[in-house]
Amino acid sequence: MERFDGRRVLITGAGSGIGRATVHRVLSEGGQVVAADVNEAGLAETAKQASENGNADRLSTVVVNIADEASVQVGVAQAVETLGGLDALINAAGILRSAHTHEMPLEDFTRIITVNLTGTFLMIREALPALLESDKGVIVNFTSTSAFFAHPYMAAYAASKGGIMSMTHALAAEYSKQGLRVVAVAPGSISSDMTDGKGPGLPADADFTLFGKLIPGIGNGFASPDTVAGVVAMLASDDGAFITGTEIRIDGGTHY
């Protein structure tokens, strides 16, 4: 029996990177999944890959802009209706922008907070009624190693991820007696659309000596999104049944 047999899972950020890898991991373990993303083309590619893997019958997609309240309300309602309920919400969606803090426009700072922190809140708020009806309800949020350790030029991103970490602890306490688990993963040094190429958008004059403490202690560089997806699957399954109100760092020993 697969860990996700009969489990109904909603995953954001499913059009690329860690979100997409998590979709495929949960599907491979028997889950029924609704994949959500603002990127319709990315969702189509995720669905295509699921079909190639023989899992198309257990995957549905929905276009959701997590930074827009109305979009979240419609998208979550559609997901719950499609799945016939909800057992797990995995909030993998997010954005990363970098800049000298003294040069960052308020618009950019607000955008990062709105997508990462407010977007996670909106998804949770709308999904909570369905999750509380499940006897195995769980929320997996995405914080970051930037919430614990200095990541230069990423003050706004770090603030958003620190907020998610704190919110995770608060929610875990608030809903513990109702049987809901709320946990977080803190990825670092993971290769994805967010971190590859121009993803971080570091300033042209960035001082790379400031990144000396951000090198993984094991491996030969950034790990694949599958590395995170496996941990997320554990947390969202019965294997994580005694884990709540905490976070797991996945960074190859970047910060010993």
Does some domain include residue 92?
Answer: yes
Angle at CA of residue 8, ends 22 and 229, nearest 5°: 15
In a domain, 1, yes or no: no
Q: Is the pLDDT of residue 235 over 50?
A: yes
Domain membership of residue 256 (yes or no) is no
User: Is residue 255 one of the residues assigned to a domain?
Assistant: no
Is residue 250 classed as helix, strand or coil in its secondary structure?
A: strand
Q: Per the structure block, which two tokens stand in for 15?
A: 């059009």
pLDDT at residue 32, as a whole number: 98
Q: What is the pLDDT of residue 197?
A: 47
134 burial level (CB within 10 Å; 0-12, 13-18, 19+): middle
CA angle, 206 then 190 then 230, to 5°: 165
Catalytic residue ranges: 157
- Residue 198 pLDDT class (50, 70, 90 cuts): very low
> Is 63 among the domain residues?
yes
> Is pLDDT of 199 > 60?
no
Count of domains observed in the chain? 1
C-alpha distance from residue 56 to each of 184, 216, 233, 234 (Å): 28, 36, 19, 22
Name the E strands within 165-240: 181-187
The region of weakest confidence among 144-153, 182-191, 213-222 is 213-222
pLDDT of residue 54: 97
Q: Does residue 111 fall inside a structural domain?
A: yes
- What CATH number is attached to the domain comprising 193? 3.40.50.720
Q: Which DSSP symbol is given to 245?
A: S
- pLDDT at residue 194 above 60? no
Q: Is the pLDDT of residue 77 over 90?
A: yes
Say what the pTM is: 0.94
Residue 135 counted as domain residue: yes
